[in-house]
Structure 1
């Protein structure tokens, strides 16, 4: 028997993949319905991905889709996971995000990244090799623009002189900024120095604990207060594959089709820490991954309890709709999670195991 004394928060991740059995419109509308239902079911966050020129992710602007989601919800926080800063002018990102913050009445989380797909940069005639330097410059401008009414900046890519930024955000001094973190430690170090929260990708439990410890150490050494660091970490999250059905076998079978299509559509496997590029995806290996929790409500509850005990994380982002899962299955999984899993983590309750 174990007690879960700290309330956990659970979000949902939306990549909006157009599988062969769906149209673009169906997938996008299904995603918005899922966010609306998630708001009613008590999920904490909805995270929207951004891609272009790829059918595995057809939301080309996080801000547009987030605005639509914000307008139909009242409680759930809406986050970008992520807005690829090198592909946008940072002032426009700040203006668009501020607009979403107003539409949502202060429920915006701004997730940023540099992008990892050279083909997507080529489609926009952007230099893929410059993305790191351009990302750092853009993040400085975005941070300044969200916090201040005017921006001045002189850099290698942007020269901005005393430009007003409207609208002003509801959240003060600005909406929280989140940095996507994967294997490299440099991203978590930079996030800690700047006081940004983070979202962890497909890394091991051991690396997860390492990065959280490194973040805390770096942030405190940078002069940030313990209270501020605790707050940024409590907001931060980790992406995992999760799906709930009535039985373990049913969950495994229902999740399989979308997962295998998604993994075959592009060589995404190494990005999420599932399997090496050189091997074909093995579904049984996927199910054994540290980042996979799929099964009945009881199995998922125990898996999440174990995950929290091993990593210390209290904020988990669930990827239920991978590869354009059928809408009735996704909504069923969400409801089962809300009704039979979430109550175990909302207060101190005993979980058999």
Structure 2
């Protein structure tokens, strides 16, 4: 692909972790409100919804993305549903293949399976997995999932997993794309080699992924990037940040304590919301800034197939997130789509 050519217009979507640190808000109420928000967002023109996964979190960080995805599929008609991401080494890959195939069938082929190798030692210990085996668990898991979706009954024999010669059914009528998220160079290289697309964070690893694809001989027009954004897009983003910055502080410091950005004992925490903005961990944008920013991002990287934003921060009222969704849908996305 000529990278200077006009890019296809990607999907624009929302990212959910279903974290609920508000002790006064029941999970049943929270789930119901968020599902209503997602159906409403589809009516505004949002194209996709992305779910993520962790376990043993006091705030209920979504442990069951397939269940949530199924509920979303029943409340939407057009939106694509994806995971960004499932920690696949924590799971039996046959069960991942079965659950993903079932969700694909329930949604009319609207589901894509995004996975990653994980990093949180507590989860690996609790599920009886060995942290240092993450790369082989991820890679063999993807091989086994593809085998299961193919309808083959040949079985599988690997270093970490074994499946006797049995069919795995049902076979998805529209096989989900298998996407892999990564941040370290060696993991990005692996994603370029084994995945149908790359789940990125904050757009900082796009060039690393495309360079890895080139080294592997993959044509540029076969590379796919699904770009998760850490941004507050609003008419007065500084005013909004004054009310939601503490939620972002909680979100990022929790990730740091789990080891998401390096060894937790040596990775410094953020001390106040302004430090987060100064470090570029969150971007604050109004439409005047966001429209040219995302237009140029997509023009410069035509491999981007989806751009998605956190719908709300942990503990933020659902209605507050909805205000930003409406602003994004009405003031930003139509202009970006038109420009592209």
TM-score range, shorter chain: 0.7 to 0.9
* TM-score, normalization by structure 1: 0.83
Residues 1:293 and 1:309: Cα distance change in structure 2 (over 3 Å): farther
Deviation of 1:178 after TM superposition, in Å, equals 0.3
- Counterpart of 1:260 in structure 2 is 249
User: Which sits farther off after the overlay, 236-245 or 305-314?
Assistant: 305-314
SS of 2:246 mapped into structure 1? helix
Residues 1:210 and 1:258: Cα distance change in structure 2 (over 3 Å): same
Q: Deviations over 1:239-284 (max 9, x none)?
A: 22123333233222233132122234453597369x9822433422
- Counterpart of 1:12 in structure 2 is 14
- Counterpart of 1:241 in structure 2 is 230
Q: Deviations over 1:7-35 (max 9, x none)?
A: 24322111111223533333333332232
Residues 1:118 and 1:249: Cα distance change in structure 2 (over 3 Å): same
Q: Indicate whether 1:44 and 2:42 are aligned.
A: no
Distance 1:322 1:43 in 2: 18
Does the aligned pair in 1 maintain the 2:120–2:260 contact within 8 Å? no
Q: Deviations over 1:27-56 (max 9, x none)?
A: 333332232222222222211111110135
- Counterpart of 2:312 in structure 1 is 321
> Where do 1:28-39 residues align within 5 Å?
28-39=31-42
Residues 1:125 and 1:303: Cα distance change in structure 2 (over 3 Å): same
Does the aligned pair in 2 maintain the 1:252–1:295 contact within 8 Å? no
Deviation of 1:313 after TM superposition, in Å, equals 6.0
One of 169, 174, 189 as aligned partner of 1:166: 169
Deviation of 1:97 after TM superposition, in Å, equals 0.4
Distance 2:300 2:282 in 1: 14
Q: Indicate whether 1:298 and 2:288 are aligned.
A: yes
* TM-score, normalization by structure 2: 0.86
CA RMSD, Structure 1 to Structure 2 (Å): 2.7
Q: Deviations over 1:127-148 (max 9, x none)?
A: 3333332222211101221223
Distance 1:23 1:310 in 2: 44
Distance 2:162 2:242 in 1: 54
SS of 2:314 mapped into structure 1? coil
- Counterpart of 1:129 in structure 2 is 132
- Counterpart of 2:189 in structure 1 is 189
Deviation of 1:160 after TM superposition, in Å, equals 1.4
User: Which sits farther off after the overlay, 192-201 or 74-83?
Assistant: 192-201
Q: Deviations over 1:198-217 (max 9, x none)?
A: 1012463xx432322322x0
> Any unmatched runs of 5+ in structure 1?
none
Q: Indicate whether 1:277 and 2:267 are aligned.
A: yes
Does the aligned pair in 2 maintain the 1:106–1:170 contact within 8 Å? yes
- Counterpart of 2:180 in structure 1 is 179
> Where do 1:59-98 residues align within 5 Å?
59-98=62-101
User: Which sits farther off after the overlay, 35-44 or 82-91?
Assistant: 35-44
SS of 1:11 mapped into structure 2? strand
Does the aligned pair in 2 maintain the 1:113–1:179 contact within 8 Å? yes
Distance 1:163 1:110 in 2: 22
Distance 1:20 1:268 in 2: 20
Does the aligned pair in 2 maintain the 1:269–1:277 contact within 8 Å? no
- Counterpart of 1:200 in structure 2 is 200
What is the total number of aligned residue pairs between the two structures?
Answer: 331
Residues 1:313 and 1:256: Cα distance change in structure 2 (over 3 Å): farther
User: Which sits farther off after the overlay, 81-90 or 145-154?
Assistant: 145-154
Q: Deviations over 1:48-78 (max 9, x none)?
A: 1111101355321221111111111111110
